[in-house]
Amino acid sequence: MRVEARAPRRGSVVWRYFGDARNMLLGPPLLVLQVAHPVVGAGVLQHSNYREEPWQRLVRTYLSLSTVIYGGQRGAERETARLRRLHETIRGVDDQGRRYHALHPEAYLWVHATLVQGGVDAHRTFGRPLTDAQTAEYYADMRQVGLLLGLREHHLPADWASFRAYYDERVLNRLEDNQAVWDVIDSVRHLKKPLAVIPSFVWRPVGAGAGRLAHLVLVGALPEVLRDRLGLTWSPEQERRLRRFARVVRGTMALVPPPLRTAGGRMAARIVTARADRRERHDPPAGHDRAPARLPAG
């Protein structure tokens, strides 16, 4: 009998830490980790416009993740069902002749896993590391999020120790160097203007500085084995620069009350939920006339 997955509870470890603004700093390395998986990389190359609209894609991803974490049970179920429907059509053959489908559990789990690990890594790097008890609770709740996404019980590692063993094995044996990885790295190093109205002479120095900093975080936060596989260098001086930046972030965020650190995510969830409610009121059958796509059991 399938147990109903639950959305994160108000006040839980996931609620308090996953949407922390500092987590966004690890967005670039998480995206590299995701597209280094051959299925994800092929799907992004052939079905995504992230190279032309990186900021729009970032906003959509932020809104979606925020809704799953802070949208309550109904909001999370509705958003995860939408994500599965969206990924149904993402399939094809990659440049090595391998067939892929975005809803393949192995690839779908990997994307979820990067988000799970990213939340822990962000607080270890830019804040206060989670305790062992907090990490165990955090993983248990994120495991429920995985079930909401459509993964099955047997897909998901049972506890944090099992998850860490799975994660390290995937990095070591499954991730690869591909074009999507280098497209992401290039887009981070050479950030496009987020808004067309920003004058180029204003954005040029701002974008260059932000790109260098984002690239520093990207390379420094990648697992060493993947960094070496991609031929990315990491020097003691880069390590010192990353640590200095982390200290600045840590000190600045210490001045921000904890509820405000997740305020953006909670506000995003309210906006998405309100929009979805309005759509359902105007067109009720669209939200209820078909079952959401499920991931295969394999």
pLDDT number for residue 283: 77
Give pLDDT tens digits along the chain (298 positions): 455 799 999 999 999 999 999 999 999 999 999 999 999 999 999 998 877 788 888 888 999 999 999 999 999 999 999 999 999 999 999 999 999 999 999 999 999 999 999 999 999 999 999 999 999 999 999 999 999 999 999 999 999 999 999 999 999 999 999 999 999 999 999 999 999 999 999 999 999 999 999 999 999 999 999 999 999 999 999 999 999 999 999 999 999 999 999 999 999 999 999 999 898 888 764 544 444 566 766 6
pLDDT number for residue 165: 98
pLDDT number for residue 249: 98
Strands 99-101 and 91-93: antiparallel
pLDDT number for residue 55: 84
Phi, psi angles (nearest 5°) of residue 103: -90, 10
Q: Tell me the torsion sign for CA atoms 267, 88, 101, 156.
A: positive
180 touches 41 (CB < 8 A): yes
d(CA 187, CA 190) in angstroms, rounded, equals: 5
Buried (b) or exposed (e) across 137-153, using 16+ Cβ within 10 A?
A: bbbebbbbbbbbbbbbe
> Domain residues of the chain, as ranges?
13-288
> CA dist 44 to 47, 57, 72, 218, 267, Å?
5, 12, 29, 19, 28
Task: Say which residues have a Cβ less than 8 Å from residue 33's Cβ, sequence separation at least 6.
Answer: 114, 171, 175, 222, 223, 226
Whole-prediction pTM value? Answer: 0.92
Beta-bridge partner residues of 170: none
167 touches 119 (CB < 8 A): no
In three-state secondary structure terms, 11 is coil
